[in-house]
């Protein structure tokens, strides 16, 4: 039974999603019936106290973890019903990932890292998009370098180009500025925001940082594995207030 309605046009949605880790006395209900939609061409931040289920929700929606019950919808596909083989293909072809730790392959150049997911799925990189992304991200002069020869900010910009090259239905960003100084972090967030405006990209980002969340169009708040509220057009003050109210209510 649905506890809330969900936008059926959403790029990504959770419907009454439950995730229980372990069993018996040690079972942890990381997601306790989450129903939420993430609209197309919108930048949404997921926030909440530590342990509230942010990473679990993102992992279930990205087909990186299996839910206990409920639906994890990407477009019309319920990821909870797919085989591992299909999930691998979905992650490669329909989802872009940006992680706190960049997760580039150290033995490949920046250029090779950017095009690898497309090559693995047998698709030819779009030369215009490649030029647009590498120019906008300011990494044209770094494309022959390996990740170990790049700064953290440059590595994350390579990861951003890789995430967007396949024109994914959604980009999931997990604390994308967590390892960056404030200037590099702001560049990453501005790029994410502009990719929503200019390319119609859908972005879902987990963050602890109200400053990062203020770049988003919307904030979804989690607490104890449930949706605890949301904010449209967030700013640093409204996000900070909402997080403080959650902490007080617990």
Ligand X SMILES: Nc1ncnc2c1ncn2[C@@H]1O[C@H](COP(=O)(O)OP(=O)(O)OP(=O)(O)O)[C@@H](O)[C@H]1O
Residues that bind ligand X (CB under 6 A): 21-22, 28, 30, 48, 50-56
Burial of 190 from C-beta contacts in 10 A (0-12 / 13-18 / 19+): exposed
Which one, of 167, 166, 149, 168, lies nearest residue 110 by Cα? 149
Long-range contacts of 191-197 (CB under 8 A, 24+ apart): 191/136, 191/137, 191/157, 191/160, 192/43, 192/160, 193/43, 194/136, 195/164, 195/171, 196/41, 196/42, 196/43
Least distance from ligand X to the Cβ atom of residue 176, Å: 14
Between 53 and 147, whose beta carbon lies closer to ligand X? Answer: 53
**Closest to ligand X by CB, 52 or 113:** 52
Residue 234 Cβ vs ligand X, minimum distance, rounded to whole Å? 18
- Contact partners, residue 183, CB within 8 Å, separation at least 6: 153
The CA distances from residue 216 to 46, 74, 177, in Å, are 10, 20, 14
Cβ at position 124, least distance to ligand X in Å: 36
What is the dihedral sign for C-alpha 168, 80, 3, 174? negative
Nearer to ligand X, 102 or 130 (CB): 102
Nearest approach in angstroms of CB 87 to ligand X is 18
**Residue 26 Cβ, how far from ligand X at the closest point, in Å?**
8
Closer residue to ligand X in complex, CB, 54/162: 54
Q: Closest CB to ligand X among 48 and 185?
A: 48
In angstroms, the CA 240 to CA 245 distance is 9
DSSP state of 161: H
**Which residue do the tokens 């698709």 mark?**
123
Please report how close the Cβ of residue 131 comes to ligand X at its closest, in angstroms.
36
Cβ atoms of residues 234 and 216 within 8 Å: yes
- Find the shortest distance in angstroms from Cβ 45 to ligand X: 13
Nearer to ligand X, 9 or 28 (CB): 28
Q: Which is nearer to ligand X, 52 or 80 (CB)?
A: 52
User: E strands of the chain, at which residues?
Assistant: 12-21, 28-38, 43-47, 69-74, 77-78, 95-99, 170-174, 203-206, 218-223, 226-232
């Amino acid at each position: 039974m649905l506890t809330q309605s969900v936008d059926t046009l959403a790029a990504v949605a959770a419907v009454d999603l439950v995730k229980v880790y372990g069993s018996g006395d040690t079972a942890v209900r990381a997601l306790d019936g989450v129903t939420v939609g993430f609209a197309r061409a919108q930048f949404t931040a997921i926030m909440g106290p530590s342990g509230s289920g942010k990473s679990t929700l993102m992992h279930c929606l990205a087909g990186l973890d299996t839910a206990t019950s409920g639906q994890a919808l990407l477009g019309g596909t319920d990821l909870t019903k797919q085989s591992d083989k299909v999930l691998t293909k979905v992650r490669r072809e329909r989802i872009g990932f940006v992680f706190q730790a960049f997760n580039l392959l150290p033995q490949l150049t920046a250029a090779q890292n950017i095009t690898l997911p497309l090559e693995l799925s047998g698709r030819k990189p779009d030369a215009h998009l490649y030029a647009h992304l590498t120019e906008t991200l300011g990494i044209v002069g770094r494309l022959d370098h390996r990740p170990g020869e790049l700064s953290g900010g440059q590595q994350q910009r390579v990861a951003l180009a890789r995430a967007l090259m396949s024109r994914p239905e959604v980009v999931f960003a997990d604390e994308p500025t967590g390892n960056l100084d404030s200037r590099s972090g702001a560049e990453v967030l501005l790029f994410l925001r502009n990719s929503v405006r200019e390319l119609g990209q859908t972005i879902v980002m987990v963050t602890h940082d109200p400053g990062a969340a203020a770049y988003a169009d919307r904030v979804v708040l989690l607490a104890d594995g449930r949706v605890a509220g949301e904010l449209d057009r967030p700013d640093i003050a409204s996000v900070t207030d909402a997080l403080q109210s959650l902490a007080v209510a617990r």
